[in-house]
Structure 1
């Protein structure tokens, strides 16, 4: 899409650093330079204000990635694109279902069940349009690797959880940038995807809640 739009050598393309490196790699393949912008803390998608802050005369496009079933603020991003003459491209997260509406109501019901019962973690914002492709919570840090310890303990109880982003792209050797993206870095440190798929039973969900709530002591703030 970038090449077809005439994006190439000498151009900059704004992309998120929260996620895998595939989008930044695509920008390089098109001959352009990836520029990283910060995310919104509730959607994990590009923050339009952060995007606006890194636009330069060389900026040609913005690649928007929807995360976990959250939708980016496309209205504001497209308005920015119109004002600045930028191409705004959408991309689904790698691995996201081609048919996001399959099991949608069940996923939302499962997410509501978990959010109403989990303690000690920050549950996701059930904003309009969230399809809960993944149910991602935050395990707040207090100077220790709380999220990682929490994940290990939950897995030990038989719950299949995963860390969605271990290292932001701008902190990897290939794409290292001497920049601060505080929301991106905080999300990479705190986020954990818990199982909440449409195929799960109520008993499965209860096991997730029991395993997580039993670990509340890991999350006490340091004084």
Structure 2
């Protein structure tokens, strides 16, 4: 069942607010609109990139009917924390899951992620939390008032590393959903995150090339004097 269908089945309709993340795909906000509701954006936890229960609680109003928790990059959202917010305020909490994958493929991605965790320098590697399947291996390239992440990505691609920006534009910046809302962690994540390859098809030599390319670019991350 689609998110819009689940919302309609739960009685969410015209005028109801539904709290969703802005860091990610636009489809969740569109599903709220299709159900007749109004998407309200709350900030993310900087470690998980999923909705922060504290931010969700702060976004609740008398018109809030539901929360949609989105699992991001293979890392589960804080569903217990969000359910507690829902219990306190009488809200429906729905989950937008990521597609299930074969165990062997997940195990190989975790192995490659561990390889990168141990060797990468100059970037912030993802937290190795329980249940992380590494659908995407997302690092942070901190900025110094310059577009360091973008320069870093271009330099990696020039060295043959197939990296990509996971969320180019947060949903609250899009014209159809533009909101005057403070989402500092969402903004920071959109500016700093970069997904490195951890596909099961990658060889050890491929992984070594990724590490060598990233570590050779550490100078891009040094603060300007």
**TM-score normalized by structure 1?**
0.96
- Say if 1:173 and 1:54 are closer, same or farther in 2 by CA, change over 3 A: same
Written as runs of structure 1 = structure 2, the 5 A alignment for 1:75-114 is 75-92=80-97, 96-99=98-101, 101-114=103-116
Answer yes or no: is 1:17 the counterpart of 2:22.
yes
Larger helix proportion, structure 1 or 2? 2
**CA distance, structure 1, for counterparts of residue 85 and residue 174 of structure 2:** 29
Matched residue, 2:123: 121
Written as runs of structure 1 = structure 2, the 5 A alignment for 1:125-164 is 125-164=127-166
**CA distance, structure 2, for counterparts of residue 55 and residue 17 of structure 1:** 16
User: 1:100 Cα shift?
Assistant: 5.9
Q: For 2:56, what is the secondary structure of its paired residue?
A: helix
Matched residue, 1:32: 37
Structure 1 unaligned blocks of 5 or more: none
Aligned match of 1:41 in 37, 46, 53? 46
Matched residue, 2:3: none
**CA distance, structure 2, for counterparts of residue 97 and residue 11 of structure 1:** 28
Q: For 1:3, what is the secondary structure of its paired residue?
A: helix
Q: For 2:103, what is the secondary structure of its paired residue?
A: coil
**CA distance, structure 2, for counterparts of residue 199 and residue 78 of structure 1:** 38
Do the aligned residues in 2 keep the contact of 1:100 with 1:133 (CA within 8 Å)?
A: no
CA RMSD of aligned residues (A): 1.0
Q: After TM superposition, what 4+ stretches of structure 1 lie above 3 angstroms from structure 2?
A: none
User: 1:102 Cα shift?
Assistant: 4.3
**CA distance, structure 2, for counterparts of residue 113 and residue 198 of structure 1:** 13
Structure 2 unaligned blocks of 5 or more: 1-5
Greater shift in the superposed pair: 45-54 or 163-172: 163-172
User: 1:97 Cα shift?
Assistant: 3.6
**TM-score normalized by structure 2?**
0.95
**CA distance, structure 2, for counterparts of residue 40 and residue 101 of structure 1:** 27
Matched residue, 1:168: 170
Per-residue CA deviation, residues 68-126 of structure 1 (Å, 9 max, x unaligned), is: 0111111111111112111100002xxx4432634122111110100110111000000
Matched residue, 1:5: 10
**CA distance, structure 2, for counterparts of residue 71 and residue 131 of structure 1:** 9
Matched residue, 1:60: 65
Per-residue CA deviation, residues 37-78 of structure 1 (Å, 9 max, x unaligned), is: 000001000000000000011100000100001111111111
Aligned length: 220
- Say if 1:102 and 1:30 are closer, same or farther in 2 by CA, change over 3 A: farther
